Amino acid sequence: PYVSGKTMIEDAWKNGYAIGAFTAHNLETIKAVLLAAEEEQAPIMIQIGQKAINEMGMQPLREAVDSLIAHHQISVPICIHLDHSRKFEQCMEAATRNFQSLMFDGSALPIEDNIRITRAVVEVANALGLGAEGEIGKIGGTEDDITVDEKDAMITTVAEALDFSEATGVDYLAVSIGTAHGVYKTTPELKFDRLSEIREAVKKPIVLHGGSGVPDDQIVEAIKRGVAKINVDTELRKSFLEAVQAHWAEQPEDWILADVMNDGIAAMKATVQQKIRLFGAAGKA
């Protein structure tokens, strides 16, 4: 049921919904995402990020997705996406391992280097029929301690979005419009005017990073204004681990690993399903 990220995101963009790009870290979290997608009959992306690759290895994770799709007879469209790669070579490795979508993140590099390497990744992705994502502007980390001035300075401008989009040819474009990775100490306020201006200029699907902790009404508004891929990681891990904590609070001597993990899987699956519905992707398989 693998589908190119390009096809998947374009369908969402044209039809006014967003694809949830859900980060998975291990067998349990891959299972939670797959079962949620199947139950909602939704196309989804499974994101493999740098932390998981460092801990588990790209190929073990990649093979786990294949195995679990077969084991659970998953029928909905699935796209495996490489998240926040900082190396051209790693993007090429993912391409050879049958990922369907690649993100080169050169947002920390000088703009010329970001453009040059992103463009190279896009060329390979295009040739292989994969989707390619690039990032322009700096999306915050868990940097709630930085000042408002500094936060404003990180917002992607229309000119840089347009230049980057045209120079690289990315299929979908990650921009910084007020979200941050991780949890927020204060409620984020997305820059909707800027989002609309960027969409108007680049005429491509926009990717929203840092999806965890963004209020539902702002997510809905962002989708109306051209966001067609929404990355979610922290809220999923939080669901999983809070369920594990609750399990142990009740049964502090339960050493049956599968029973403990099952509570985590069920909780994370429920959160993924809630996001899929919020993004308008339920029933779009």
213 interface partner picked from Na ion, ligand G3H, Zn ion, none, CB below 5 to 8 A per type: Na ion
Report the nearest approach of Na ion to the CB of residue 274 (Å): 16
> Per CB under 6 A, does 166 bind ligand G3H?
no
253 φ, ψ (degrees, to nearest 5): -115, 30
**Would you list the DSSP string of 24-86?**
--SHHHHHHHHHHHHHHT--EEEEE-HHHHHHH-HHHHHHHHHHHHHHTT--S-EEEEEEEE-
* Footprint on residues 174-213 left by ligand 13P (CB under 6 A): 181-182, 209-212
Nearer to ligand G3H, 117 or 223 (CB): 117
> Using CB under 5 A as the criterion, what x/- string covers residues 200-239 for binding Na ion?
----------x-xx--------------------------
Q: Would you call 263 a catalytic residue per the annotation?
A: no
Shortest reach from residue 24's CB to ligand G3H, in Å: 25
- Check 11, 66, 83, 217 and give the catalytic one: 83
Binding mask 96-135 for ligand G3H (x = CB under 6 A): -----------------x---x------------------
Q: Report the residue number, 211 or 226, with the smaller CB distance to Zn ion.
A: 211
**59: buried, middle or exposed (CB in 10 Å: 19+, 13-18, 0-12)?**
exposed
Rounded to whole angstroms, the Cα distance separating 93 from 190 reads: 34
CB of 151 to ligand 13P, least distance (A): 15
Query: What are the angstrom distances between the C-alpha of 225 and each of 73, 105, 117, 192, 205?
Result: 35, 23, 28, 8, 10
Span from 84-92, 147-155, 158-166, 188-196 in contact with ligand G3H (CB under 6 A): 84-92
Instruction: Using the minimum distance from each CB to Zn ion, give the nearer residue, 212 or 231.
Output: 231
Task: Name residues whose C-beta falls within 8 Å of residue 31's C-beta, 6 or more positions apart in sequence.
Answer: 68, 72, 265
Residue 23 interacts with which of Zn ion, ligand 13P, ligand G3H, none, CB < 5 to 8 Å by class: ligand 13P
Kind and range of the H or E run holding 256: none
The whole-angstrom separation of Cα 64 and Cα 232 is 20
Structure tokens at 158: 């229309």
Rounded-to-integer distance, Cα 53 and Cα 66, Å: 16
- Interaxial angle between packed helices 58-71 and 88-96, expressed in degrees from 0 to 180 and rounded to the nearest 10: 30
Of 257, 169, 233, give the one whose Cα is nearest residue 33.
Answer: 233
Question: Nearer Cβ to Na ion, position 167 or 230?
Answer: 230
> Which residue numbers belong to the known binding site for Zn(2+)?
84, 105, 135, 181, 209
> Which residue numbers belong to the known binding site for dihydroxyacetone phosphate?
182, 210-212, 231-234
> Which residue numbers belong to the known binding site?
84, 105, 135, 181-182, 209-212, 231-234
Site of interaction with ligand 13P (CB under 6 A): 23, 83-84, 181-182, 209-212, 231-235
